[in-house]
Chains A and B, each alone.
Chain A
């Protein structure tokens, strides 16, 4: 029988939010069709580094395991992506795992993506109908528009676009691409349109969309293929018109 194939991992670890990061190397037996998460589970079973040192199990975040929740995003061989769909056989070894450092690191590969959820609140990325009484069915949406909107609704707030953006960092408070595209989604909705101006004005606030530097990394990095830069340019146009409306007033709603 041939020798057991193995997989090597170099994991960037950090014990607490304020601790300084360090790397540890692990080697685990190879299995068919392994993804990065199943490899991390294997490390968790026997957390011993290649030097034979006993270590704590690596901590990471995960939920759906089918690339729709965005929780397991991490930087794998230099690229931010979901670890559930990162297949070990398609990656160069040793496989380097790092947290997405654009966000505050909680521990090891777990980051705190709160800023994204706060941004969604800031731009009111929802449709406020209070639900105290039955409003009846909402307006219908044309099927081709629904299909178009579905593409934007694929955003899972994974944070990969923010990680790839040169203007989202500790020095700037730029909101980042993901929430911007959600404004476009909810502004396009027949009922959501009601709060269009509120959302646009939120995007025009400090830390809003005007900080975009058009490096267009986001659209290249998005695992869901969302046309983020088209959303950005479309909202730039809406913001231009809204700023004129704010200044001069308007006869239209």
Chain B
């Protein structure tokens, strides 16, 4: 075992959560949001992303490898902690617990989501509006996807807050408090975009647009 790797590993984990995973999350949500303007609009946006040059390199180095590292090392971090929110019900301690709960849930959700879309695409399925409308027509999957979107936006927003502390950007209590408001705003805005896109896949009128 190499010594003193922990500092590097933890900082890398913190950085990758924001860049590129967090940035990808925002980009993904914005593409999803095209569904609000109808199926053809969404399909055009999805097709544009699919036809980006160096697609496999982008997917591997911007999405899969950082995401895998963040997920696996994150699981390790989550199981090192011992939640004590019953004894200490402070706001930040509850956020600490939720960050770990949403993280573990996201590993399951994203694994399933990648399997159902990207892996299916590799086997020849067409990732388009109809595919998502079909998935979300099941009430269980609808709830699962809404939970996944909310978990992701929470984990990203709260992760931004801890990123700022872990890298020493916000030091004083006041700066950390302002960052709390910033992270709440990020959570609300991204959740709105994400949920609105999900609802768009349920609307039969949009499917024919």
Closest-CB distance, A189 to chain B (whole angstroms): 19
Contact for B171 among A207, A213, A215, A237, CB less than 8 A: A237
If over half of B's interface residues share one DSSP class (helix, strand or loop), that class is named, otherwise mixed; here it is helix
**B77 CB–A CB distance under 8 Å:** yes
Contact B81 A210 (CB under 8 A): no
Chain A residue at minimal CB-CB distance from B9: A210
Closest-CB distance, A18 to chain B (whole angstroms): 21
Contact B10 A211 (CB under 8 A): yes
Contact A213 B165 (CB under 8 A): no
Which of B's residues lie within 8 Å of A, judged by CB? Answer: 3-7, 9-11, 77, 79-84, 87-88, 90, 92-93, 95-97, 99, 161-162, 165-173, 176
Closest-CB distance, B107 to chain A (whole angstroms): 17
Determine the chain A residues whose CB is within 8 A of the CB of B173 once the complex forms: 227, 229-230
Contact for A217 among B80, B88, B99, CB less than 8 A: B88
Contact A205 B7 (CB under 8 A): yes
**A152 CB–B CB distance under 8 Å:** no
Contact A214 B88 (CB under 8 A): no
A215–B92 Cα gap in the complex (Å)?
A: 5
A234–B167 Cα gap in the complex (Å)?
A: 9
Chain A residue at minimal CB-CB distance from B170: A233
Contact B84 A230 (CB under 8 A): no
Beyond the given pairs A215-B90, A233-B172, 8 more chain A to chain B contacts, judged by CB atoms under 8 angstroms and listed by A's residue number, are: A166-B97, A167-B80, A174-B80, A204-B7, A211-B80, A233-B165, A236-B166, A237-B169
A166 with B171, Cβ < 8 A, contacts A213-B96, A239-B7, A243-B11 known: no
Determine the chain B residues whose CB is within 8 A of the CB of A216 once the complex forms: 90, 92-93, 96
A213 with B6, Cβ < 8 A, contacts A221-B88, A236-B165 known: no
Contact B90 A220 (CB under 8 A): yes
Contact B88 A171 (CB under 8 A): no
Contact B96 A214 (CB under 8 A): yes
Contact for A215 among B4, B77, B93, B161, CB less than 8 A: B93
